[in-house]
């Protein structure tokens, strides 16, 4: 946590060299696929509604990964909702078919997903689900932002 997208990518490069595998930030699509339990299209990794003891939200600080085991997805991945917003390797783009005006200065900004320990689950402007996305300058560092890596298959 408290790292920029650029720093997370540098860590992935370092780890790739050290472990002899390719590590990287997940794409936005990969992140959402995991957070919605694959082809099940759930709003949360565990089902259709936010339940107590499934995600680290409405807290003053983050908790250790896996603090709420009932919040795992079907493959056992922890903390896809809450704890820290997660950087993806995807630059922000409008969804296909959206013809809205999009300022050019945001084209290099990154997508973060999942919400954080400070997220308010009832916030209608920023709904805490596996489908909500936010765009952030990739040089930004914040205690509520972090990352996870994926490892490419060999």
Q: Is the pTM of this model over 0.85?
A: yes
Q: Is residue 10 a contact partner of residue 71, using CB atoms and an 8 Å limit?
A: no
Per DSSP, helices labelled H in the chain are: 5-19, 28-35
> Which residues, other chains included, contact 47 with Cβ-Cβ below 8 Å and sequence gap of 6+?
none
Altogether, the residues listed in the chain come to a count of 154
Longest dimension (CA), the chain: 44
pLDDT at 154: 64
Looking up residue 95, the CATH number of its domain turns out to be 3.90.1580.10
Is 3's pLDDT higher than 90?
Answer: yes
Number of domains in the chain: 1
- Domain coverage including residue 129: 5-151
pLDDT at 100: 85
């Amino acid at each position: 946590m408290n790292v920029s997208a650029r720093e997370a990518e540098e860590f992935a490069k370092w780890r790739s060299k050290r472990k002899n595998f390719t590590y990287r930030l997940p794409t936005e699509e990969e992140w959402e696929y995991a957070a919605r339990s694959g082809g099940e299209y759930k709003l949360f990794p565990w089902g259709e509604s936010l339940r107590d003891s499934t995600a680290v939200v409405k807290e003053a600080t983050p908790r250790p990964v896996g603090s709420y085991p009932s919040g795992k997805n079907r493959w056992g991945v922890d903390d896809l909702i809450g704890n820290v917003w997660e950087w993806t390797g995807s630059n922000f783009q409008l969804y296909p078919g959206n013809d809205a005006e999009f300022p050019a200065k945001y084209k290099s900004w990154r997508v973060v997903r999942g919400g954080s320990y400070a997220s308010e689950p009832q916030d209608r402007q920023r709904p805490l689900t596996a489908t909500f996305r936010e765009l952030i300058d990739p040089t930004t560092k914040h205690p509520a932002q972090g990352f996870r890596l994926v490892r490419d298959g060999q």
